[in-house]
Structure 1
Amino acid sequence: MFKSVGLVSRYDKNQALKLSDTLAEYLAQKGLKVYIDDSLAGKITSKEQFIPLADMNTDFIITIGGDGTILRAAMNAPKPDTPLLTVNMGVRGFLTEIEPQDACAAVDRILNGDYHIEKSAKMAVCAGKEILPDALNDVVISTGEPSKILYADICKDGKPLLKCQADGLIISTQTGSTGYSLSAGGPVLDPTVDAFVLTPICSLTVFHSLVFPADSNLTFNVLKEKMLVLIDGNYRKQITTDELTLNVTKSKNVTSFIRFETSFYDRLRNRLLFKGTQ
């Protein structure tokens, strides 16, 4: 039974802030202990407790925003599998589950046990010996400068695979295959396909997307003086060590989404690929 809830919202949209206040009050009335991301302090009127997202050790978390808000919550919550109820206040909101007007009704359904959990795979990322945050969506590698080409050797399970000469590389999960990778020409993966997608960004050579089994060990050896790693659009790391190596494998962690009736193909049809073609 859920007894505590975290509330995470975008803070640059008045509608999102108003809904945060409304939901905080409604959740407290339902007997839940409510914790609000401290980035909202001073922006909403709620008297509930404000804490850092990294300390939000709650039974579930509600996000109010788009995919960026979801990815921020998934990366920074202290428990990686804390269930997320995702309210759409973004531009596209592919990962979101409900619209703002349905938020209170969704809380009632959750408290009545009328929901299911959808688990999404993540990638474990290491730069040399340094462990970086897990990626729910994607890992992007570049030089960090638009005019500089990324030169890298790509290995699978320790064996050389191919050489890269491109503006960058995107390694995405099934979830991330609908994001930046898709925009760069990559395929959409059905969530039941346990795999990663490797997609080049503006390659100088004939290099199309590759799909790897999720148990693959992918290594990227960058041949120039620096490497920028961007994880889920939230975490940025400039690597300037002598040996520029990035390793990507399947993480033992997952992200859990609270779902009702919607499915992956509902979201794909209504929010992304097939909208208006029914």
Structure 2
Amino acid sequence: MPETRLAQWRERIDLALAAALPSADGGAHRLHAAMHHAALLGGKRMRPLLVYAAGDLCGADPVALDAPAVAIELVHAYSLVHDDLPAMDDDDLRRNQPTVHIAFDEATAILAGDALQTHAFSVLADAPVADAIRVALMRTLAQAAGSAGMCGGQALDLAATGNGAAIGIEALEHLHALKTGALIRAAVRMGALCANASEADLARLDVYAGALGLAFQVRDDILDVEGDSDTLGKTAGKDAVQDKATFPALLGMQASQARLQALAARMDDALEPFGERARLLAALGRQAVERRF
């Protein structure tokens, strides 16, 4: 059953994350405690699960997948810490817990995000893979996290906040292909790279991951309208209050749901050539489309 395998991988990544982080009791203990708060208090673990699932599809050694799975979750955790800051989305709640700048303070939150990001590359530098693969993993994650990926998308999102209706649907899709999609595409690619996947397989997986990243964001926008804070684990309804560019704001809810189903079909089409080997990636795609938080 895919659910059993995904649960096993989730337990694996939680243990690997805890082992990779510096002790909360030693050295800069307040900073380390903030890093633990950001990385270990729940979360869907979608990105590391994608690393494992893509690696499994391509035949990677599971031991080789731990480092990229940890690294991409550390970068994701750093991005959430900074995204919640007063200068960004200014949110008090994440995963039903106080955000890092609320639980600690703003300066500690900034440093915790910085430390999580740099630690991700330290983890990759020690990955038990061939040198060429290690370099490819580091390049993939760096490109996905930087100005051509997640940070660039966040900048576009901030520029559109307060005038969300003016951006247009193509610009919105580009924004989220960077802000949300880049790390998701990197997760899938990093798993496949650990197995020396062919260029043809990498191209098919990139189509799947591109559709998944956009579907994840469309569903996120829908949940911000339909969901409640207790279920979501973060403040619901903030997109409308901040006049952010979202799919429901630009397309309406019915068209957003239709877009979500079209993206689900695109994922299925991209995975079809892999047959049964793609069952775990397909399950993660369904989770993204059907999730309630």
Give the structure with the higher percent helix.
2
Give the structure with the higher percent strand.
1
Higher Cα Rg, which structure: 1
TM-score when normalising by structure 2:
0.25
State the structure with bigger RCO (CA 8 A, min sep 6), 1 or 2: 2
TM-score when normalising by structure 1:
0.26
